[in-house]
Amino acid sequence: MKDLVSMEIKPRVYIRNVLPERYILEIKQFCDQVVVDPWFYGKPEPVPSPDLSECNVILTAGFRDTLDILKKAPNIQWVQSTSVGVDKMLRDEIINSDLVITNTRGCTSVPIAEHTFALISALAKRLPSMIRNQVSCRWDEIPVGDLSGAVVGIIGYGDIGYEIAIRCRAFGMRVIGCRKNPDKSPKNDPAEVVGMDQLDSVLAKSDFVVLSLPSTSETFHLFNREKLAMMKPGSFLVNVGRGNTVVENDLIECLGNGQLAGAALDVFEAEPLPQDHPLWTFENVIVSPHRAYYSSSTLQRYMDLFMENLRLFSKGKPLLNVVNKKQGY
C-alpha cells in the first residue's frame, strides 16, 4: 500500500454486508460517507441506487463478490473482505491493478478449529449413525473408533491448521501438517510439518485428512479420484477450506465403494447445497452449512479488524492482512 503511505485519506465506505445497526453507526462516526447496500446470503447481488463515485473503500465478502461493482465505484482504493477467501475477486484486471485487498485471516482460526475437532470426534464416534437411529428409535450397537493414537493430516497448514493441531494433540492424536512453505512453522509447533511434495505420503498414513486450503489454481479440484484413492482405506475426509478443492462426484464414488469411511464437509462447490444433492443421503457424511467460521464473537472480530484498518487507511499507513493477489491469499 505504498501509494497511500504518508497521505491523509478520508474514508468513504460502501458496505455490502448485512451488519447490525450498532456497527454501521460506529463506522459512520469515523467516515465522511457511508453507503449501505445489504447483500443477503443466497440472494442476487444488489444493484446500488446511490452514487458510489466518491467511495474509496468497500466492505464485502470475497468468497462471492466478483467486484464488478467497481464499474460504478471507480475510485475504490481498498477492499476489506469479511471472508478469508477472496478468490471470486481475483480476476486478472484486479490482480494487475493497484487495488489493495485485505481479508479476515486469523479472526476465525479458533472457531474453525473447534468446529473441525467436533467433526473429527463425531466421525470417530459415529454420531451421525447414532442420531439417525435415535430418530427411528433403533437401539443398535455401532462400532466406534479411538481418537488417541489416530493420525490427523492437515493439508494447508496455516493459522487454522495450527489451532486444529493444538486441540488434536490434547486428545493424544498425532498431527502431520502439510504446507507449501514448511520452514515457516514455529519451533514448538504441535504438528510434524512437511512440504506439499509429501502430500501423497501424508494421505496414506492419516486416519483423518483435514483440508484447510485456500482456493487457487493449484488447489482447484486437487482432491480428485486419484488423490482420494491415495487416502488410507477406512479413513475420513474433513473439508473446512474451500469447496472447489474436492471433486464432489469422485468423493461420492469413494464413499459409495467403501474406500473412505466417511466425510464431514463444511464447504461445497454450490452453496447452499442443492436439496437433490447425493451428499445429503449418505449416513456416514456430515453436512455442515458453511458455519465452521462462525461463533458469537466472529462479527466483533471482523469489525475490530475493519475499524483498525480504517484508522490505518485514514493515516495512509500499511493495512493489516493484505492479500497477495498473485498467490490468492
Check residue 7 and give its pLDDT: 62
Do 276 and 190 fall within a single domain?
A: yes
Range of the domain at 273: 109-287
Q: DSSP assignment, residue 48?
A: P
Q: Which of 239, 240, 256, 248 is nearest to 274 (CA)?
A: 248
Do 97 and 145 fall within a single domain?
A: no
Do 165 and 310 fall within a single domain?
A: no
Q: DSSP assignment, residue 293?
A: T
Check residue 3 and give its pLDDT: 47
H and E: helices and strands count for the chain:
9, 12
User: In the chain, what percentage of residues exceed pLDDT 90?
Assistant: 91
Do 52 and 191 fall within a single domain?
A: no
Active site annotation includes 290: yes
Q: How far apart are CA 53 and CA 73, in angstroms?
A: 5
Do 256 and 199 fall within a single domain?
A: yes
The total domain count for the chain is 2
In the predicted structure, residue 302 carries a pLDDT above the cut 80: yes
Q: Is residue 2 very low, low, confident or very high in pLDDT (cuts 50, 70, 90)? A: very low
**Amino acid letter at 109?**
S
Catalytic residue among 192, 271, 277, 301: 271
Alpha-carbon radius of gyration of the chain = 21
Mean pLDDT of 111-134: 97
Mean pLDDT of 281-292: 96
Active site annotation includes 218: no
Q: Is residue 22 very low, low, confident or very high in pLDDT (cuts 50, 70, 90)? A: very high
Do 169 and 272 fall within a single domain?
A: yes
Catalytic residue among 242, 248, 277, 283: 242
Check residue 186 and give its pLDDT: 84
Q: Which of 212, 211, 209 is nearest to 234 (CA)?
A: 209
Mean pLDDT of 298-310: 97
Spatial CB neighbours of 75, under 8 Å, sequence gap ≥ 6: 53, 54, 55, 56
* CATH code, domain carrying 262: 3.40.50.720
Residue 326 located in a structural domain:
no
Active site annotation includes 242: yes
Do 140 and 32 fall within a single domain?
A: no
Check residue 1 and give its pLDDT: 44
Check residue 39 and give its pLDDT: 94
Contact 71, 95 (CB under 8 A): no
Check residue 187 and give its pLDDT: 83
